[in-house]
Chain A
Amino acid sequence: DAKTTQPTSMDCAEGRAANLPCNHSTISGNEYVYWYRQIHSQGPQYIIHGLKNNETNEMASLIITEDRKSSTLILPHATLRDTAVYYCIVRVNNAGNMLTFGGGTRLMVKP
């Protein structure tokens, strides 16, 4: 899997948009970008994924740059319950198709 680089931690004010960046400069053409989050030792929760087009669902938006070397996860109106570790993962379509987790970004949403 292509390596990803994320800031170790970020703060966000409650009610504001949280923009979490991720660099994946060595991404290949068939590799998808996935975002997960983990809230305090619970199981990782799937948020969103995309290949090259921007994606939006009920949880978040994913913006992927045209060269696909970076992406941003946007939580439009962060709440205290969004405090978690957010993982950006680049996933290749290989036989195993597993996800390889890095260190992630610890997002703290503050009142």
Chain B
Amino acid sequence: DSGVTQTPKHLITATGQRVTLRCSPRSGDLSVYWYQQSLDQGLQFLIQYYNGEERAKGNILERFSAQQFPDLHSELNLSSLELGDSALYFCASSEQLQNSPLHFGNGTRLTVT
């Protein structure tokens, strides 16, 4: 158990809809990272927050957004969903910015029909 909690575990929704994925980091971790893993692609970095502030952005679509709240939990919002957004979405957290391992949750499996 990594200590990172993601909810829900599974989500099925229709094209055009909007969903919110939630992540609770390990106790004491200030950094939160979001990754996407599709069948035909590897783990792709989406976005990182540190202590409530956006720190780095990867290949995140404009239809996607995220935030980190004062209690350090994070949410990833996906809107105007398309079939191609079906994927595993992982959240990870780390203690500090440099040289601390990322610890991943077990992901949310999103299916867009």
Contact = CB atoms under 8 A, between A and B. Distances in A.
Interface residues of B, number: 27
Main secondary structure of the interface of A (DSSP, over half): loop
B83 interface: no
Interface of B: 2, 4, 31, 33, 35, 42-43, 45, 48, 55-56, 58, 88, 90, 92, 94, 97-99, 101-107, 109
Contacts of A45: 2, 104
B92 to A, nearest CB: 8
Interface residues of A, number: 21
Contacts, number: 61
B106 A42 contact: yes
- In the A-B complex, the 10 residue pairs with the smallest Cβ-Cβ separation, listed nearest first, are A96-B56, A43-B104, A101-B43, A46-B101, A43-B106, A44-B104, A98-B45, A93-B98, A97-B97, A43-B105
B90 A44 contact: yes
